[in-house]
Amino acid sequence: MQLFEELTSDDIFAWILLNRSADARGILLTESGYDSQVFEAHLEPEEMMSIACGNRIKAINVATMANIQSLTRICAVVDADVDAFLGTKLPDNVFSTDQGDIEACAFFGPAGGAVFMAPLFPPARYTREEVDGMVDDISAVAFAVGRLRLDSVRRDWKLSLSGLPFGASPTPDALNSFVDMHWMAGIIAARSHPDSICERCVDRHFRKSFSTPLGDRDSRLCRGHDIAQLVAIAVAKRGGPSLAGRTVETLLKAALHACRNFRELALYRDLENWGAKAGVTVWHDECANAA
């Protein structure tokens, strides 16, 4: 893995061009070193390497430069973000995560959030149904924030929704067992652009999102950072250990280090198909043959 998070897109691409004569392996561009660690656990090291570009825009830019130069053995994986909802078309060598990001892929993956969360509590403290209820509350908040994020982009509301202080929330309200969403609406309105929508509008938006039936919530709107913060709050409030959100993010990514979990992602097949066309073996044998 190459960590080029401080370099510009042009610098990263220049390094790739200079290095091609010495290393002709396929290249997987990612947004961060943390994302690269997940993929490195499954890449065939003799045929593939990863480069952490530092953010989504730079990864897409470098992949686009590779397309222009007809370098067919270079691709990128970026967070899905809101592309699928805005109809944004990515270059054909850029692939999106199944969910909003890698962490969300683990939480909403085949095993499900309850399987991830259950071991974080003392043995036999809660039934599976009770843990399922916690997962429902967590996903409800993450969905509400994600839906607000999408509408903010669509309607140019200029809302500030990064790094929300879920843990500072006072007593939860009737909407959710972990977070006071009315209080959160006030926080969002106060920290956003002066020309943005008012607190009452944010609060109304949240209540509309919470009325969305579980089966109709699109988990692709949920961000792993929000989920991790909410999992940490849920675990601490229900008798589990005190965990930092970053620790939960690491645990979520670690869940995808297991080949059987990683193979369940549509992204796995997308990159496998890309490799077949590019003439490179993307995944190592243990991952490719995992049951």
Find out whether 143 and 207 touch, Cβ atoms under 8 Å.
Answer: no
User: Quick one: tokens of 284?
Assistant: 């190592």
Same domain flag for 78 and 195: no
Q: What is d(CA 13, CA 19) in angstroms, rounded to the nearest whole number?
A: 10
Per-residue model confidence (pLDDT) at position 249: 93
Per-residue model confidence (pLDDT) at position 173: 66
Q: Range of 39's domain?
A: 2-97+265-288
Per-residue pLDDT for 156 more than 80?
yes
Per-residue model confidence (pLDDT) at position 15: 95
Per-residue pLDDT for 237 more than 90?
no
For residue 104, is it within any domain?
Answer: no
Same domain flag for 77 and 151: no
Same domain flag for 172 and 141: yes
Characterise 206 by phi-psi region: left (phi > 0), alpha (psi -120 to 50), beta (else).
alpha
Same domain flag for 282 and 196: no
pLDDT per residue over 47-87, tens digit each?
999 999 999 999 999 999 999 999 999 999 999 988 778 88
For residue 92, is it within any domain?
Answer: yes
Burial-class residue 54 by CB neighbours within 10 Å (0-12, 13-18, 19+): buried
Same domain flag for 129 and 91: no
Per-residue model confidence (pLDDT) at position 266: 94
pLDDT per residue over 197-219, tens digit each?
888 999 998 888 887 876 778 88
Per-residue pLDDT for 281 more than 70?
yes
Angle at 109 between CA 185 and CA 168, to 5 degrees: 25
User: Which letter does DSSP use for residue 111 in this model?
Assistant: S
For residue 199, is it within any domain?
Answer: yes
Same domain flag for 277 and 216: no
More confident site: 103 or 240? 103
User: Quick one: tokens of 288?
Assistant: 């490719």
Per-residue model confidence (pLDDT) at position 213: 75
Per-residue model confidence (pLDDT) at position 215: 72
Instruction: Give the chain's domain count.
Output: 2
Same domain flag for 146 and 275: no
Find residue 276's DSSP bridge partners: none
Same domain flag for 186 and 273: no
For residue 190, is it within any domain?
Answer: yes
Alpha-carbon distances, residue 139 vs 113, 126, 189 (angstroms): 9, 19, 22
Same domain flag for 84 and 117: no
For residue 103, is it within any domain?
Answer: no
For residue 162, is it within any domain?
Answer: yes
Per-residue pLDDT for 16 more than 70?
yes
For residue 139, is it within any domain?
Answer: yes
Q: What is d(CA 254, CA 29) in angstroms, rounded to the nearest whole number?
A: 19
Per-residue model confidence (pLDDT) at position 79: 94
Per-residue pLDDT for 291 more than 80?
no
For residue 133, is it within any domain?
Answer: yes
Same domain flag for 80 and 176: no
Same domain flag for 29 and 163: no
Residues in the chain: 291
Same domain flag for 202 and 79: no
